[in-house]
């Protein structure tokens, strides 16, 4: 999925640019801290002035905990100093456990599996603001998988973040009843078959959802997705415009008639996942067959993310890059890019290459984080909504698990 990684990083000038940019970001963050502590109002005027769009909010939720300064395109939040900031996982102290009744298995899990993420990813403790434009059911989630991943990666995402998603597809070539596999006939099970799964799968999803879907989100079966964070990335986009939205850019060539290089494009990492707007899908749909049959050199370049972005480019659409899409696990991202970079955005939406075991843990970690934030905000409306959704998904999973698991026989003594 990221063929040109070495090329991208060996490009010295882009590395230098990156360093300069992170230097500027660092300076800006320092200024932010200095200003926001001493002169909150002055600072808000500054960020309104440069049209800083990240902290927009819909003022109707929590007037008692946040006050809003409304600019024309921009609402800027002022943090109240009275918010609680308890973190169920990160503040856990095993030597001073006030809930003595907590069972020992969970105690160990909390400390040894969940707690380590507190030192890796950002841990906002309050002031949750939901996505304003789109809800989860506006998005069709498309996952590419293969038979060898059914019982590990695919089940792990089915049981974790994807369990709270309405419209979801696994595209593959072999049916498997525990998973909602949409079979792509004759796609095969090698790496190149991703292409056929991709364009036929897109056609199937489009046919089924074109009347209602606002965005399509494409990812692999080892991508962790924080759906509430992901939806916020769409706040400043409009699904009626032709858009490709993702992050973590790589570069690759595009082709015509299988062997003519037409240009080199920058495209969002498919492993970290990316969105296609409804308008983009509508434009691509009639071109998919011809593009893959006549133009794309599948054997030579079996990278579905590159191919789709080249198709979009040929239709005049360039990708929009936003933060939060990480092409590696949280641990690797911290090691490779450093804390400052990883923490430059406090609400990451995807991590790639997450192994099945970590998929469950990361999902649980973020569910607790979400509950912390809603509770600390006294945001009862959303807390109830989220809890009900979670409970419903939990019991649905239990029903699925009951149907698919055979318990060992009880041996008589």
- Binding stretches for ligand NAG (CB under 6 A): 58, 60, 72, 80, 82, 96, 133, 238, 240
Least distance to ligand NAG from the beta carbon of 236, Å? 9
* Complex with ligand NAG: residue 133 or 314, whichever CB lies closer: 133
Distance of CA 277 to the CA centre of its chain: 16
Q: Helix crossing, 304-314 with 193-209: angle to 10°? A: 60
Least distance to ligand NAG from the beta carbon of 339, Å? 27
Q: What is the rounded distance in angstroms from the CA atom of residue 392 to the CA atom of residue 394?
A: 5
Q: Is the dihedral of CA 17, 23, 26, 30 positive or negative?
A: negative
Q: What is the rounded distance in angstroms from the CA atom of residue 167 to the CA atom of residue 161?
A: 13
Least distance to ligand NAG from the beta carbon of 156, Å? 32
Q: What is the rounded distance in angstroms from the CA atom of residue 353 to the CA atom of residue 8?
A: 19
Q: Which residues pair with 131 in a beta bridge?
A: none
DSSP secondary structure, 14-34, as one string:
HHHHHHHHHHHHHHHHHHHHH
Least distance to ligand NAG from the beta carbon of 281, Å? 16
Beta sheet of 325-326, edge-to-edge order: 224-225, 350-351, 325-326
* Complex with ligand NAG: residue 100 or 406, whichever CB lies closer: 100
* Complex with ligand NAG: residue 240 or 257, whichever CB lies closer: 240
* Complex with ligand NAG: residue 264 or 381, whichever CB lies closer: 381
Least distance to ligand NAG from the beta carbon of 82, Å? 4
* Complex with ligand NAG: residue 80 or 332, whichever CB lies closer: 80
Q: Which of 292, 281, 289, 271 is nearest to 315 (CA)?
A: 281
Least distance to ligand NAG from the beta carbon of 378, Å? 10
Question: Which residues 6+ apart lie within 8 Å of 225 measured at CB?
Answer: 141, 161, 162, 217, 219, 273, 349, 350
* Complex with ligand NAG: residue 72 or 177, whichever CB lies closer: 72
């Amino acid at each position: 999925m990221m063929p040109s990684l070495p090329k991208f990083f060996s490009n010295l000038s882009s590395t230098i640019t990156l360093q300069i940019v992170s230097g500027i970001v660092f300076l800006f963050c320092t200024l932010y801290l200095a200003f926001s502590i001493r002169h909150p109002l002055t600072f808000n005027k500054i960020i309104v002035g440069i049209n800083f769009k990240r902290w927009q909010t819909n003022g109707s939720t929590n007037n008692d905990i946040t006050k809003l300064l409304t600019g024309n395109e921009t609402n800027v939040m002022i943090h109240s100093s009275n918010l609680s900031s308890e973190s169920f996982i990160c503040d856990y102290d095993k030597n001073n456990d006030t809930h003595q009744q907590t069972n020992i298995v969970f105690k160990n899990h909390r400390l040894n599996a969940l707690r380590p993420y507190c030192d890796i990813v950002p841990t906002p403790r309050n002031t949750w603001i939901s996505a304003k434009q789109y809800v989860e059911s506006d998005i069709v989630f498309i996952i590419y998988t293969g038979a060898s991943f059914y019982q590990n990666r695919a089940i792990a995402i089915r049981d974790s973040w994807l369990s709270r998603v309405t419209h979801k597809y696994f595209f593959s070539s072999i049916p498997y009843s525990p998973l909602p596999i949409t079979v792509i006939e004759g796609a095969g099970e090698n790496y190149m078959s991703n292409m056929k799964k991709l364009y036929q799968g897109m056609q199937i999803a489009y046919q089924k959802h074109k009347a209602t879907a606002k965005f399509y989100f494409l990812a692999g079966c080892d991508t962790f997705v924080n759906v509430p964070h992901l939806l916020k990335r769409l706040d400043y986009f409009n699904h009626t415009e032709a858009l490709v939205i993702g992050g973590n850019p790589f570069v690759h060539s595009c082709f015509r008639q299988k062997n003519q290089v037409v240009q080199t494009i920058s495209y969002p990492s498919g492993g970290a996942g990316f969105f296609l707007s409804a308008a983009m899908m509508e434009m691509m749909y009639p071109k998919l067959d011809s593009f893959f049959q006549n133009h794309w050199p599948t054997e030579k370049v079996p990278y579905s993310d590159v191919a789709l972005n080249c198709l979009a480019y040929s239709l005049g659409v360039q990708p929009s890059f936003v933060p939060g899409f990480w092409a590696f696990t949280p641990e690797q991202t911290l090691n490779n890019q450093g804390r400052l970079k990883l923490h430059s955005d406090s609400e990451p939406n995807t991590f790639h290459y997450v192994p099945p075991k970590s998929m469950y843990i990361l999902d649980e970690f973020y569910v607790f984080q979400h509950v912390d934030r809603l509770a600390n905000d006294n945001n009862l409306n959303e807390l109830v909504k989220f809890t009900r959704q979670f409970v419903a998904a939990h019991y649905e999973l239990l029903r699925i698990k009951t149907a698919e698991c055979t318990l060992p026989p009880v041996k008589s003594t």
